[in-house]
Amino acid sequence: MSSCSWVLLLGLFLPSGATLAQAEPAVSAQAIRRIELMPEGGQATPEITVSPGLSTGLFFDAELVRDAVALDGRESFSILDAGQTVIRVMPSSQVAPGERFLLTVRFRDGAAPASASFLLKVHPAKAEPLVEVYREKRTIETYQQEAREARAVALRYQEENARLIAERAAPGGLTGLISTGAMDAEGVSVRIMTNAIPQVSGSGVDATMFQSYRSTTRVAVEVGLSVKAGALPWTAKGATLKSKAGEELRILRVWQREPITPVVPGSVIVEAESTVASSRATFTLKLWEETGPRTVTLGNVTFP
């Protein structure tokens, strides 16, 4: 086992100056966002997050003029499906993180507002799957559902804050792992998958090594990466671990000792919350960089 692996698995609670990203709590992938259009207009153009290969559906409470749906950069989308009250979009793999595309719709009845526009902003992996757009007054049931979802999100933030406080208060090394229940008498299981993982890598960033780990309440993956000669340094910004059934593990941290360059290869460690049962699925790991379009995707990820 590499020394970097032991830094994660036996010293999770020690402070470090290394790069640490994406420690925010995960929100349910099926959360529904709701947008209300003002009759008089004048509001800022709503921004909706889309991702390559992931579908985003916009559901309207009024009929659309299907032939009037316009999407700037249509060639950058593999799917644009406009129905009577639903629009489905999916960016292609050619789009870059941070790109924005203007989507404009027109309503059939001509009432105010007669049209609406939305900015579709590209994220490497976290599309908004469901967006409800209201042009008329919403029902009390939708407000109640929104309140329930807001309470659920607030609870997740409270749980995340409590976890962070507990980790800071816990001792380091093996004592910390044992005291927090992250490791039991069976220790930490390891699986080496370097030769078994088919990879789809982007823009000259290649995976050279891959290992997975599992304890009682956590899983982790370690990916060795190299950058081709002449390419810019690569620093991980975030990651997702999604099963074939569409379930995402809750990412706790993404750790990298230093930027990866053509001269200095390195590794990225992704830690997630997972029980033994929930880690039995097969996952896809996606990593994206701090700034820029380069991503690394590894399929058929399993844990010991």
In CATH, the number for domain 38-134 is 2.60.40
Q: Strand 189-192 vs strand 295-301: parallel, antiparallel, or unpaired?
A: unpaired
The residue ranking higher by pLDDT, 178 or 272, is 272
What is the C-alpha separation between 118 and 84, in angstroms, rounded? 18
Query: What predicted TM-score, i.e. pTM, was given to this entire model?
Result: 0.71
Helix (H, G, I), strand (E, B) or coil at 171: coil
Read off the pLDDT of residues 106-136 as tens digits, 9 standing for 90 and up.
999 878 888 999 999 999 988 999 999 998 7
Element (H, E) at 143: helix 140-169
Read off the pLDDT of residues 15-63 as tens digits, 9 standing for 90 and up.
344 566 654 444 444 568 999 888 766 678 999 999 998 999 999 999 9
What is the C-alpha separation between 256 and 227, in angstroms, rounded? 15
